[in-house]
């Protein structure tokens, strides 16, 4: 991630050069910069993650007054393997001219065109500028006649058809929400992509769901016979050490999709577990370990609730 705290000038220039270069690069699909991944010498990737302390608004502010035409990009966080990664996203976008810096900055010349050449940002030559101009002219016009109502109708239809992952559709809802400045939808999509932090204002009541919790760290790995989720749930309901308690399920949409894949991979035998404590989960004065047991139905119910919440919010616009 750009080091805005210790090397502000260099970091700002690096960000601006990336935005210009990716926007000017000839391509036919969305491009991304992913922060938190290190490429090792053997070609493998080390998933390190980042500190999620930068928001999109601050990045947009650093770029908007230093680039012409005004660039269009998104920044968001995703959770994967209990780590946070940053993503800069660049749609294929038609501009009247290639993007350039509006003033001289560290490593950047005002009015110069930069683009992505292989794995590096490169200053364009005269012929490169002609090619980029030709590409931008060849892109279809942005049809501003499409109304927000039409776009919402398309998104609702995609949600109800249930043919795509929610993570894909919610990312598109976020893009549409920013386009039309729909703040309540932006907040919803951002929270779903990043994961839920708190429910103090009741905004995420649709994520409250009854799950099995216990002071016991139970092991349900059978040695001589196959145990199904329904068998385990029934045994828990009949055991005095397990409680069916409503809690806020905070997982991000990508995490929920991963959990659903994992618990269904075992043919109905896998159970997801989590660990918390009585202070965090129940607000008790004393702190004791608590174990949460998630079944496939828990994740699928939550997934349906989020889908319905997205539909409800779109219909309220």
CATH numbers and ranges of domains, the chain = 1-141 (3.30.950), 205-304 (no CATH)
What pLDDT, on a 0 to 100 scale, did the predictor assign at position 223? 45
- The CA–CA distances, whole Å, from 316 to 9, 148, 152, 273 equal 43, 12, 10, 36
Start-end of H helices in 181-295: 183-194, 229-238, 253-265, 278-282
Could you read off the pLDDT tens digit of each residue along the chain, which spans 317 residues? 888 888 889 999 999 999 999 999 999 999 999 999 998 989 899 999 998 678 888 898 899 889 999 899 999 888 888 899 999 999 999 998 999 999 899 899 999 999 999 989 999 999 999 999 999 999 987 654 457 888 898 899 889 988 888 998 999 899 889 888 899 999 999 999 999 988 777 889 999 999 889 988 876 554 444 667 777 878 888 888 888 899 889 999 999 999 888 877 766 667 788 888 888 777 788 888 989 988 888 999 999 999 999 999 999 98
Q: How far apart are CA 235 and CA 122, in angstroms?
A: 63
Q: Is 202 left (phi over 0), alpha (psi -120 to 50) or beta?
A: left
Which tokens belong to 252?
Answer: 């991000």
CA 115 to chain CA centroid, Å, is 26
Check: pTM over 0.95? Answer yes or no: no
What gap in Å lies between CA 74 and CA 57, rounded to an integer? 9
Those residues whose C-beta lies under 8 Å from the C-beta of residue 82, and which sit 6 or more positions away, are none
Predicted confidence at residue 153, as pLDDT, reads: 87
Alpha helix (H) residue ranges in 76-147: 126-138
């Amino acid at each position: 991630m750009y080091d805005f705290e210790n090397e502000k000038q260099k970091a700002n220039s690096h960000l601006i050069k990336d935005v210009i270069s990716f926007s000017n690069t000839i391509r036919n699909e969305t491009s991304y910069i992913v922060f938190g991944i290190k490429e090792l010498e053997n070609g493998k990737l080390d998933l390190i993650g980042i500190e999620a302390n930068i928001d999109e608004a601050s990045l947009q502010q650093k770029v908007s007054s230093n680039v012409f035409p005004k660039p269009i990009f998104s920044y968001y966080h995703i959770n994967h393997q209990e780590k946070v990664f940053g993503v800069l996203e660049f749609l294929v976008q038609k501009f009247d001219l290639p993007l350039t810096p509006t003033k001289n900055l560290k490593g950047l010349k005002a009015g110069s065109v930069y683009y992505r050449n292989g794995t590096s940002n490169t200053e364009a030559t005269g012929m490169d500028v002609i090619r980029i101009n030709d590409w931008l002219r060849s892109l279809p016009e942005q049809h501003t006649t499409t109304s927000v109502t039409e776009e919402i109708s398309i998104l609702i239809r995609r949600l109800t058809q249930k043919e795509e992952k929610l993570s894909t559709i919610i990312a598109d809802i976020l893009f549409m929400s920013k386009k039309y400045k729909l703040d309540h939808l932006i907040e919803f999509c951002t929270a779903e992509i990043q994961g839920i932090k708190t429910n103090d204002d009741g905004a995420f009541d649709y994520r409250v769901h009854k799950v099995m919790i216990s002071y016991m760290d139970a092991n349900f790995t059978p040695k001589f016979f196959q145990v199904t989720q329904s068998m385990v749930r029934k045994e828990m309901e009949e055991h005095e050490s397990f409680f069916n308690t409503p809690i806020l399920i905070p997982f991000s949409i990508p995490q929920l999709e991963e959990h659903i894949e994992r618990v269904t991979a075992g043919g109905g035998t896998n159970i997801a577990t989590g660990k918390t404590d009585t202070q965090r989960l129940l607000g008790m004065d004393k702190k004791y370990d608590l174990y949460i047991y998630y079944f496939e139905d828990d994740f699928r119910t939550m997934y349906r609730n989020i889908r319905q919440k997205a539909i409800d919010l779109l219909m309220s616009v």
